[in-house]
Chains A and B, each alone.
Chain A
Amino acid sequence: MNDLAEIISQNEDKLRSEWIRTMSSAVERADLMSKSELDEQCGSILKELVGGVKTSGPENIAGAGWNGARELLSSISASRARQGFSPSDIATFVLSLKQPLFVLIREKMAKSPDAMFDMLLSATQMLDSLALVTTEASISAREELIMRQQQELLELSTPVVKLWDGILALPIIGTLDSARTQVVMESLLQAVVATNSRYAIIDITGVPTVDTLVAQHLLKTITAARLMGAECIISGVRPQIAQTIVHLGINLEDVITKAKLSDAFALALQRSGRTVVKIGSASAANPLSGLFSKREE
């Protein structure tokens, strides 16, 4: 089968220019590729092809002789996937070699049709397998991207906001799983230390369902906050969720729960010795007292 390697290496320049021409017409986003870079990539792939065919044969793509070609194709496909090429564009990169290569094989092997057929068969097998390598590489590059975005989403979705001096709020959006609970717990506890807050309001308006597992995660967070000296109030319990909690028999009796964030905030203000007074009535009695006045007992 070394004939194939010979044909490729002897006609490398011609094959490369034909390949680039076919590819440019087949790929939709040809504008994303630079000519010189493409030229270099095609040249090195052709060299790896020759090496692979010589050492492991064209059918055995998994063989050791193809390591170089596979790695090269994977890295090219991964970088293209990040650039925004579609998977079919990336596969076309390899598949568009078929036409120039087959034309070349026909020219060289015109005298013996049987040998030509064998060679075409092995060449098409080889290129198909390599195209699969590129598709897999581009998909795994996308998966990596999705994983990274998931991670970023996880960090973005747990903001801790300071409502008042010593009162924090933690609006939770989305389902609480173990990994998120860990992030939520850590960010809440860090914020409690950083702002020296006595009260933390966990708002679960954005949590679609509360099952026993979610409740257990919430209780863990509340216990950890209590150990540090901060008190937690759960707010945003929707009517359906209140029903679910009771039906499931979840024990939330040691936890203060409120229907709305405003109720929880009012309770936290009251517990820290503050009260909200309407500006008219407060200023009439005492012009210096503002929106929030400290309650004297």
Chain B
Amino acid sequence: MERIPVLRMGSLLLITIQVDMHDKLALQLQDDVTERISDWGSTGVLIDISSLEIVDSFIGRMLANIAGMSRVLGAETVVVGMQPAVAITLVELGMSLAGVRTALSVEAGMELLYGNAISGSENERTEA
């Protein structure tokens, strides 16, 4: 069965969405992420959606849900690499993903998460 891989990078989880998301896949991903966080004790989740070109309200809600679930499990979520068209679509759908943090690239997202892990504060510096 098709599955989105959840990779472990130290204390982080890296999820790269490279296929068209359909509803079953999204639900499966929610299961996987929550299980991995509790198994590995991850402190951060990085979701790379740079190759996602089509988004609907369900996928938007799914992203917000994963962030919410991760927060409950003690991990912070960063969504990285959103395409302009996807961002515009989500705004037009009225979804601002309020609880989700965002970054331009995987690199910036990792800095954000590692910065949080080290200082444990809301320090948003990208330049070391």
Contacts and interface: CB of A to CB of B under 8 A. Distances in A.
A189 B80 CA distance: 14
Given A229-B82, A229-B103, A224 B87 contact: yes
Contacts of B91: 220, 223-224, 227
B84 A198 contact: no
B109 to A, nearest CB: 8
A273 B109 CA distance: 17
Interface stretch (B30-38, B67-75, B120-128): B120-128
Interface of A: 166, 185-186, 189-190, 192-193, 196-198, 220, 223-230, 271-274, 294
Interface residues of B, number: 24
A226 B102 contact: yes
26 contacts: A186-B84, A189-B88, A190-B84, A198-B104, A198-B126, A220-B92, A223-B91, A224-B84, A224-B88, A224-B90, A226-B96, A227-B91, A227-B96, A227-B102, A228-B102, A228-B104, A229-B80, A229-B82, A229-B104, A229-B105, A229-B109, A272-B127, A273-B125, A273-B127, A274-B127, A294-B127
Considering the complex of A and B, which 7 residue pairs feature the smallest CB-CB distances, nearest first? A189-B84, A229-B103, A229-B102, A273-B127, A224-B87, A229-B104, A227-B87
B86 to A, nearest CB: 8
A196 B50 CA distance: 13
Q: Is the interface of B mostly helix, strand, loop or mixed?
A: mixed
Given A223-B96, A227-B97, A196 B105 contact: yes
Contacts of A198: 104, 108, 126
Contacts of A220: 91-92
Given A224-B84, A226-B96, A229-B105, 8 more contacts: A220-B92, A227-B86, A227-B91, A227-B102, A228-B102, A272-B127, A273-B125, A294-B127
Contacts of A229: 79-82, 102-105, 108-109
B88 A185 contact: yes
Contacts of A271: 124-125
Contacts of A193: 83-84, 104
Nearest to A196: B104
B82 A272 contact: no
Contacts of A192: 84, 104
Interface in B94-112: 96-97, 102-105, 108-109
